[in-house]
Amino acid sequence: MDLKRVVITGLGPITPIGTGAAEFAQAQREGKSGIGPITHFDASDLKVRIAGEVKTDLSQFVDAREAKRLDRVVQLALAAADLAVADSGLSPEELAGERTGTLVGSGIGGISTFETQTRVLVERGAGRVSPMFIPMMIANMSTGNVAMRYGATGPSSTVVTACATGTGAIGDAARIIQLGLADIMIAGGTEAAITGLAIGGFGNMHALSASHNDDPQAASRPFAKTRDGFVLGEGAGVLILEEREHAQKRGARIYAEVVGYGTSADAHHITLPAPEGRGAQVAMRQALNAARIDPSAVGYVNAHGTSTPANDLNETLALKHIYGSHAAHLAVSSTKSMTGHLLGAAGAVEAIAVAQALSDGILPPTLNVGADPDPELNLDYIPEGAREQQVEYAMSNSFAFGGQNAVLVFKRWS
């Protein structure tokens, strides 16, 4: 069976460093950090008091009446979808119907609603819990609301694989198009987990950086010697994927082509990566095989790069295993150094960054690693700012709690 080809025609990032394709791209070029003090709630009593918050006013995408019935995680998804659709140039008539599908994942879902309504239960009793509690909390509501907004009645699903969610959503959506089940997929990830419960939980398991409350922009430092945990971020990334001939027929601008997807399980530990990234290696190898390219063809990797000691070491080792001698010539960076870790939205936002890198010929940097190199980690992490460099193929990695891994390979469109 001949598989259809899948291209990216619309980008919708809403992140701590910028909203919309142009603003997000410019922020990466400038090496902007979106990490700062938490303002969503009073974090003064917590040991971690910083995060990557989205500053965009969501009321331009979701009206006040809608907002009362939608958790912030869904509001971010709708905003990102609106941005992606506008960027694609698709009309409402082109989007409506069974040839358009939706697949927007979330690693956690409506945790803000969960936290608020749990407080209501404890303080006021079960009779006062909102009847909208379940619809606002469950993870599939981003996909459901995006489908309803555009009248997209085609294939619809939700990926929930923690930090691999956004990448898995794009990969699964691409497969739907490859199999001829849809012409258009609205795909990506969303997360809004900057709450006391999430910060407390991640912080108490020592996953978050707790040493830079007074210098937030230095906290997310992937691959640096003194990295001590990730910085929690929020946001959403939605992409418009199209079957190549469908996109070309309507004269769409094409950013890049999705050519490879791999997914695997470490089957090792609930939070720690397998030694030398063995599970990650499987997913990377699958993605390269699906793309039908030799590793030496890849010029750039957007790393998972969380700024945790175990992830950054094992991802580096995995890259060395997969790329061999070519690893020394590979550009690698982590945009989490700018945005923080957006959990279920991370892979989708990073896919947008990769599509822009291929299209614009500008590779995003890794902040905070240049002055603090780790002698054990000796790849080219783009430490000195964004780099003008045209590459033909790029890889994007996402690895999750539970040992779930997802990897995408993209090709420059020319």
CB atoms within 10 A of CB 63: 10
Does the annotation count 40 as an active-site position? no
Q: Which of 40, 246, 268, 304 is labelled catalytic?
A: 304
What's the pLDDT tens digit per position in 166-222? 999 999 999 999 999 999 999 999 999 999 999 999 999 999 999 999 999 999 999
Per cent of the chain over pLDDT 90 is 99
Query: Model pTM?
Result: 0.98
pLDDT band of residue 259 (cuts 50, 70, 90) is: very high
CB atoms within 10 A of CB 170: 35
What's the pLDDT tens digit per position in 378-396? 999 999 999 999 999 999 9
Instruction: List, as one string, the DSSP characters of 204-239.
Output: HTT-B--S-TTSGGGT--TTBTT---B-BB-EEEEE
pLDDT band of residue 1 (cuts 50, 70, 90) is: confident
Q: How does the average pLDDT of the chain come out, rounded?
A: 98
pLDDT at 26: 98
Tokens 């939706």 belong to: 102
What's the pLDDT tens digit per position in 79-93? 999 999 999 999 999
CA 102, 7, 302, 276 torsion-angle sign: positive
How far is residue 258's CA from residue 260's CA, in Å, rounded to a whole number?
6
CA 171, 177, 180, 181 torsion-angle sign: positive
Backbone angles phi, psi at 158, to 5 degrees: -140, 130
Read off the tokens for 85.
């659709």
Read off the tokens for 355.
């599509």
Q: Amino acid identity of 147?
A: A
How far is residue 319's CA from residue 321's CA, in Å, rounded to a whole number?
5
H-helix or E-strand spanning residue 263: strand 256-265
Backbone angles phi, psi at 257, to 5 degrees: -115, 140
Backbone angles phi, psi at 356, to 5 degrees: -70, -40
Contacts of 343 (CB under 8 A, 6+ apart): 107, 108, 162, 163, 165, 191, 193, 232, 233
Separation in Å, CA 28 to CA 256, 262, 334, 363? 18, 26, 11, 8
Backbone angles phi, psi at 223, to 5 degrees: 70, 0
Mark residue 31 as left, alpha or beta (left: phi above 0; alpha: psi -120 to 50; beta: remaining). left
Neighbour-count burial of 400, counting CB atoms closer than 10 A to its CB (0-12 exposed, 13-18 middle, 19+ buried): buried
For the segment 221-233, the average pLDDT, to the nearest whole number, is 98
How far is residue 239's CA from residue 351's CA, in Å, rounded to a whole number?
9
Read off the tokens for 208.
């978050």
Does the annotation count 304 as an active-site position? yes
Neighbour-count burial of 375, counting CB atoms closer than 10 A to its CB (0-12 exposed, 13-18 middle, 19+ buried): exposed
How far is residue 149's CA from residue 177's CA, in Å, rounded to a whole number?
21
Q: Which of 163, 206, 212, 329 is labelled catalytic?
A: 163
Instruction: List, as one string, the DSSP characters of 122-148.
Output: HHH-GGGS-TTHHHHHSTTHHHHHHHH
Does the annotation count 326 as an active-site position? no
Tokens 């009645």 belong to: 153
Q: Which domains does the chain have, with CATH numbers?
A: 6-249 (3.40.47.10), 260-412 (3.40.47.10)
CB atoms within 10 A of CB 251: 7
